[in-house]
Structure 1
Amino acid sequence: MPEPTIAPAAADAALSAEDAKLVTLARSARARVGAAEGAAVRDQDGRTYAAASVALPSLSVTALQLAVASAAAAGASKLEAAAVVTEASNLDGAGHAAVRDLAADAPIHVAAPDGTLLGTVTQ
């Protein structure tokens, strides 16, 4: 699968209140444990799930994969949107694929650690 392309955010880009909440939750999850990434997703019922990346000797999971797994484990069958807070310049393919397992068209907002929107992946 090719690298997901992040459409750069316009200078005046603003997220909806619901999507801004996802960025806030992702930032909090990342900061709470000092992880490389934080992520949050919103399911079809408006429930949110936040997670941080995990890097153990025997287990490595991206924040977005873990947030999607938490949603799926709670019974979510569709995602409305996702957000990732990262210092990386691109969205990881595994996290992107996990979101696409539950939503072919949900936007994935990518933000810097300070919450600045870097762009959105829509495909």
Structure 2
Amino acid sequence: MPELDAEDTKLITLARSARVRTGAAEGAAVRDLDGRTYLAGTVALPSLSLTALQAAVAAAVSSGAAGLEAAVVVTESASVDAESRAAVADLSTDAPVLVADPSGSLR
């Protein structure tokens, strides 16, 4: 597995913190084209459900991000669902979506 750069390591740390802070099933972080980061946890309300990655993308878009450089999801799951990947693809066709376990190790 290739060595992560410092910016991707930072995304993993932010995604882990979002997950732990909120007690959510997943935590996610994205980096926009200007290097700004956005993080979120899973949203599970009676009237609104978003995966952590969808919520992080929504935070980026609502803050004016025009595109994404990278995304990370911290989850117990071995993969990221298609809807979450589609949210990233809406802003970037080539941004990697990294998946890490709760310890921060890449899957």
Q: Is the pair's TM-score, using the shorter chain for normalization, greater than 0.5? A: yes
Which has the higher Rg, Structure 1 or Structure 2?
1
- Structure 2 alignment gaps of length 5 or more: none
Aligned length: 107
Which runs of 4 or more aligned residues in structure 1 lie more than 6 Å from their structure 2 counterparts after TM superposition? Answer: none
Residues 9-88 of structure 1 mapped to structure 2, 5 A cutoff: 10=1, 13-88=2-77
Aligned to 1:96: 85
Q: CA deviation at 1:14?
A: 2.0
- Give the TM-score normalised by the residue count of structure 1: 0.85
Higher share of residues assigned strand: 1
- Give the TM-score normalised by the residue count of structure 2: 0.97
- Structure 1 alignment gaps of length 5 or more: 1-9, 119-123
Root-mean-square deviation (Å): 0.7
Question: Deviations 1:57-111 (Å, cap 9, x if unpaired)?
Answer: 2211000001001101111011000000000121111110000000000011100
- Indicate the percent of aligned positions where both proteins have the same amino acid: 64
Q: Which has the higher contact order (CA 8 A, sep 6+)?
A: 1
